[in-house]
Chains A and B, each alone.
Chain A
Amino acid sequence: MTSTRNRLYLLLALVCTAGYIWLFINLPNAESSPDVCMIKHVTGIPCPSCGSTRSITSLLHGDVTGSLFWNPMGILILLIMLIAPVWITGDVLLKKQTLFSFYQQFEKTLQQRRVAIPAIALVLLNWIWNIHKGL
């Protein structure tokens, strides 16, 4: 059990670090459009999470409406990036696994049909909006 916990924490920490480095590179120019998305390169259509970098950078520049316009998912990502490092450090220092149990609970909740279907619908709606905006 501890190995899965440690694997999850390592993965989260890696993703957060990558996210912060990525944000640091892109912070100076909020309106630019960094092209790393595979879907966009292959099909020419933006993916559901395209625009989240621009969303976070405009939020950090104080532009909340712009952030919501680019991609509401960006705010969610920023929240995870702010909370996860603190939570991981706390868990590792106190030798607990509160984040791991939260993660398992979250997985279980999301697998229920009455949660999953609205979530999928929201992501699809956001995706349609993304394509309409032409990110």
Chain B
Amino acid sequence: MDAQKVDMFIMTNGKFFESHQIGQIRERLLVLDESKWPMIQSLPLKDPSTSLIVSILGGSMGIDRFIIGDTGIGVGKLLTCGGFGIWTIIDWFMIQGATREKNMQKLQQFLY
């Protein structure tokens, strides 16, 4: 793909991925076929900051996990009152990483 397009994608969406994945994403995008560009551009990526806010407000009901697509863990948190409150606190620190991980999974379908 066009280097300019790839760099634009990295600049606008870099914050949605772990920093150590950026290099790999750039490399893969450069060799990717041009026809996949519209799909990659319209991927529904989730913002880690938003999920942190949701985690702080609705974490004990598992809403943060539901939003990023971890439905099973979300149900677990909902049923156990946020894992006796402990899981809720752990997720305040884990949710941003989990969101970036989920975004990477979404992108990976197109990269390989």
Tell me whether A and B are bound partners.
yes
Residues of A within 8 A of B (CB): 8, 11, 15, 18-19, 22, 36-39, 47-50, 52, 73, 76-77, 80, 103, 106-107, 110-111, 123
Q: Which residues of A contact B85 (CB under 8 A)?
A: 36-38
Q: Of the candidates B60, B69, B80, B83, which one forms a contact with A77 in the assembled complex, judged by CB atoms under 8 Å apart?
A: B80
Q: With the chains together, A73 CA to B61 CA distance in Å?
A: 13
Residue B14 at the chain A interface, CB threshold 8 Å: no
CB of A125 to closest CB in B, whole Å: 14
Are B76 and A15 in touch, CB under 8 angstroms? yes
Q: Of the candidates A15, A48, A77, A111, which one forms a contact with B61 in the assembled complex, judged by CB atoms under 8 Å apart?
A: A48
Q: With the chains together, A22 CA to B79 CA distance in Å?
A: 14
Q: Which residues of A contact B45 (CB under 8 A)?
A: none
Q: Which residues of B contact A47 (CB under 8 A)?
A: 60-61, 81-82
Across chains A and B, the number of contacting residue pairs, with CB separation under 8 Å, is: 55
A39, A50, A52, A103 interface centre (most CB from chain B within 10 Å): A39
Q: With the chains together, A106 CA to B69 CA distance in Å?
A: 12
Are B83 and A15 in touch, CB under 8 angstroms? yes
Q: Which residues of B contact A22 (CB under 8 A)?
A: 84
Are A38 and B60 in touch, CB under 8 angstroms? yes
Are A49 and B81 in touch, CB under 8 angstroms? yes
Residues of B within 8 A of A (CB): 60-61, 69-73, 75-76, 78-85, 88
What are the 6 A-B residue pairs with the smallest beta carbon separation, nearest first? Answer: A107-B71, A38-B85, A110-B71, A49-B81, A107-B72, A38-B60
Are A80 and B79 in touch, CB under 8 angstroms? yes
Are A18 and B72 in touch, CB under 8 angstroms? no
| B86 nearest in chain A by CB position | A18
Are A77 and B75 in touch, CB under 8 angstroms? no
Are A103 and B72 in touch, CB under 8 angstroms? yes
Supposing A37-B60, A47-B61 touch, asked if A77 and B81 sit within 8 A by C-beta, the answer is no
Q: Which residues of B contact A15 (CB under 8 A)?
A: 76, 80, 83
B70, B75, B88 interface centre (most CB from chain A within 10 Å): B75
Q: Which residues of B contact A18 (CB under 8 A)?
A: 83-84
Q: With the chains together, A37 CA to B84 CA distance in Å?
A: 7
